[in-house]
Structure 1
């Protein structure tokens, strides 16, 4: 079972969420003694994220012939994409022993195989039961990179002295806006901002008020999240890493496909409020949320819930299930 391929996309406006969660599966397969290969539809901006892995960088959706040729005698193929059309899923399935489809929102009627949705509350999304599909659903299968598999209990400081900020691939000036608000309202708090490009004029101005970082490794991200007393983040993959670390966060709804997942965080009491940056009252809502989390007992209570909800073993459970499924097929 040497031929394990992970097809995904990333960089630019797509962001790094797909690559981050696929990297967690790559690492889980490695832990079990298997050696997968990434096939990534993206640009050179993704290379640092997959450093040390086996990967190819090309548009596997457009270059169908190259994709199918690559898959001759494939054992396991995983696909994590918002762009891959239905016909290509079927072609890839036809070339593999086991096909695994990572889904967030019932995007397609998938071919036979395994459908994985590690989003919190995915069990209630209404997937249609089929004899030819195994469904692995819910936060027990949350994708976390190996750096986040084993973490200590979060120590809650009496005061909020540092805030981590990440607005994901759809920043559009949001980081600068948040830093301006916080530097005016909470000038004593140290701000760390993760951006995809720290060379733009707008981001350069941020450096006067905050630490600006880009292209962080998983270990660097883990340390940054762990050292922060509070976070402000787009409601994507980082929310699961924050839960594992136990750092309370203010959630920003920056894309429509984040709504279901973060809505379930809210239902579970893991986030106090979800803020839409397009809301005219955004500035006031953000300041109110920071004030709410200044109380250490509030942060302590929600941090405990967070670390209980996400145990860090999701990717290992998935890899183990996929290997056993393939062996028994």
Structure 2
């Protein structure tokens, strides 16, 4: 009996970031552990974040989420199709669902994806309050289903003296450079991480600022990212995948937003007492950061399931087996 096949369609890159890919990698790893065979269809830039052993077909952005790709999807004979992207139209998702059951990973219900999904997954804070309908056969909503890479469940937690800064895989707003400009000699030590999609020019700009800070380290896509995050005393990050990683490790944090889809999450993090919300990028200053850092750092209450990807994979596998 052949293994059930999962086909993951997603995208990432300099203008997109890496959140979609990161959480799909977590889910694919969990599917593999459950005995499901995973294959990917992505744009070429996304390859930088995929495991080397992944079975991948790359397509141009213009083709990846267009009807031209449906024939390629059909040739893979998938038992489940996972889509994680803001790009595809509902018409394209309907075409995919005609090929195989469709799992849509969503964030903010800016379009009625619940009307076309066989399985709807939204692990964000407040997902249960977005008014999803009853069309999906399974709806997996809330932090119980957080798609975090398995390494975060195993990494040793410490509470160091340094602040960990992550502005996303692409840092599309040059956040890291500005934070380095703001960083004062009286601030705690800083570990600032640039993601794999940050352009060379922006990397160099950040390096120039870091040169003058004896208590700051600037790292580019470090393999030890989970360990560095787990060892931090405080975290500054976007209210996206990075925030959920920090919350899963129960790190005191302050979040900010570089894209509109992150705003609601940032507000809920503060409303629920899980961290401080600095607000949208451009609406706060170095003085605001100084005030946050001067406060006593409070460890947030446990909220995010470190093994959420495993729970999703097991739930979806059982659902697929029942269908078969």
Give the equivalent residue in structure 1 for 2:124: 119
Give the equivalent residue in structure 1 for 2:72: 69
- Check whether the contact 1:9–1:19 (CA below 8 A) recurs between aligned residues: yes
Give the equivalent residue in structure 1 for 2:102: 99
**Does the residue aligned with 2:37 lie in a helix, a strand or coil?**
coil
Question: 1:109 Cα deviation (Å)?
Answer: 2.6
- Check whether the contact 2:266–2:277 (CA below 8 A) recurs between aligned residues: no
The 1:266/1:178 distance shift into structure 2, 3 A limit, reads same
CA distance in 1, matches of 2:137, 2:4: 23
Q: Residue 214 of structure 1 is aligned with which of 205, 215, 220?
A: 220
CA distance in 2, matches of 1:235, 1:46: 24
Whether 2:206 is the aligned partner of 1:203: answer yes
Question: Superposition pairs for residues 262-273 of structure 1, below 5 Å?
Answer: 262-273=266-277
CA distance in 1, matches of 2:232, 2:259: 24
Question: 1:246 Cα deviation (Å)?
Answer: 2.3
Relative to the length of structure 1, the TM-score reads: 0.86
Give the equivalent residue in structure 2 for 1:327: 321
**Does the residue aligned with 1:107 lie in a helix, a strand or coil?**
coil
Give the equivalent residue in structure 1 for 2:290: 287
Give the equivalent residue in structure 2 for 1:230: 234
**Does the residue aligned with 1:36 lie in a helix, a strand or coil?**
strand
**Does the residue aligned with 2:86 lie in a helix, a strand or coil?**
coil
**Does the residue aligned with 2:311 lie in a helix, a strand or coil?**
helix
CA distance in 1, matches of 2:34, 2:158: 32
Q: Residue 257 of structure 2 is aligned with which of 233, 253, 266?
A: 253
Give the equivalent residue in structure 2 for 1:178: 179
CA distance in 1, matches of 2:282, 2:244: 24
CA distance in 2, matches of 1:309, 1:165: 21
CA distance in 1, matches of 2:131, 2:123: 14
Question: Superposition pairs for residues 9-158 of structure 1, below 5 Å?
Answer: 9-43=11-45, 46-59=47-60, 60-61=63-64, 64-72=67-75, 73-96=77-100, 98-110=101-113, 111-130=116-135, 132-152=136-156, 154-157=157-160
CA distance in 1, matches of 2:289, 2:97: 46
**Does the residue aligned with 1:13 lie in a helix, a strand or coil?**
coil
CA distance in 2, matches of 1:184, 1:133: 55
Question: 1:7 Cα deviation (Å)?
Answer: 0.6
Q: Which residues of structure 2 form unaligned runs of 5+?
A: none
Q: CA RMSD in A?
A: 2.1
Question: 1:148 Cα deviation (Å)?
Answer: 1.4
CA distance in 2, matches of 1:193, 1:155: 18
Please list the CA deviations of residues 96-134 of structure 1 after superposition, one character each: whole Å capped at 9, or x if unmatched: 1x210111111333314011101011011111223x532
Q: May I ask how many residue pairs the two structures share in their alignment?
A: 309
- Bigger shift: 250-259 or 207-216? 207-216
